Amino acid sequence: MLKEEPAPASGGEAASERVAKHLRAQILSGAIGPGERIRQEDIAEQFGLSRLPVREALRMLETEGLTELQANKGARVPHLSMSEVDVIYRMRESLEPLALGESLPLLDTADIERLGSIQSRIEANTDIQGFLDLDREFHLLSYSGCTVEPLSSYVVRLWNTTQHYRRAFIALSGPGRMWIVNAEHQLLLDAIVRRDVVDAGNILRGHIRRTRIELAQHPDIFGPGK
């Protein structure tokens, strides 16, 4: 896993962004779980860089809510409490219908076909990581028409920061209630095809709300009691 070469000519883009991209993937994949510490020197060594671009990268990720930096105490992946995840979901219940409303009129038929194809793959899917990736792709694609900042990036941020807890939730609850997700996605997809912003927004809001409530029934996912 060690790259001993001194950054092989790089890809032309900034080194700190490469590091950020790598760490982002690590965190989203669950390879770095919440609460886990990230030592600058370790990462620097892995990439054959100094600690400076690593610090930059950690700051960039802090912007996205994926890391938190305390002075003289280092960087960690934030450990969210149940009440924090609960509030994030309630924020999503407002913001994602807003993003969808911005996005829907700008989606073309090719986008919508891709949405349908992703949903087919979700229904055929079996493993957890596969579902997480496809579900994320489905929803974020439905928002892809919304390019206005900071809404679009913040929606992604809320997804990113709760990724780990979604994984834990699905692993715990099993595939028993997966049919509900598919039913909701089907309704959402139909509303999108009909270009019905109001319908789509309501279904989406309910989809997120239901997930929030089911999540709240698994307090064991979150670290200490709180």
Partner DNA sequence: TAACCCGAAAATGGATCCAAAGCTAGAACT
Partner DNA sequence: AGTTCTAGCTTTGGATCCATTTTCGGGTTA
Residues that bind a second copy (CB under 8 A): 13-14, 17, 55-56, 59-60, 62-63, 65, 71-72, 83-84, 87-88, 90-91, 94-95, 98, 102, 148-151, 154, 161
User: How does DSSP classify residue 221?
Assistant: G
**Main-chain dihedrals φ then ψ at residue 42, nearest 5 degrees:** -55, -50
Among 30, 65, 74, 116, which residue sits at the site for DNA (rule: CB under 7 A)?
74
Q: Is 132 in contact with 166 (CB distance < 8 Å)?
A: yes
Alpha carbon distance 35, 77 (integer Å): 5
Alpha carbon distance 140, 61 (integer Å): 19
Q: Is 178 in contact with 127 (CB distance < 8 Å)?
A: no
Beta strands 37-38 and 68-70 are: unpaired
Q: Interface with DNA includes 63 (CB under 7 A)?
A: no
Q: Interface with DNA includes 49 (CB under 7 A)?
A: yes
Binds 51, which of DNA, a second copy, none (CB < 5 to 8 A, cut-off by type)?
A: DNA
Binds 95, which of DNA, a second copy, none (CB < 5 to 8 A, cut-off by type)?
A: a second copy
Among 14, 156, 178, 216, which residue sits at the site for DNA (rule: CB under 7 A)?
14
Kindly list the residues in this chain that would bind DNA in the complex (CB under 7 A): 7, 12, 14-16, 37-41, 49-53, 55-56, 69-75
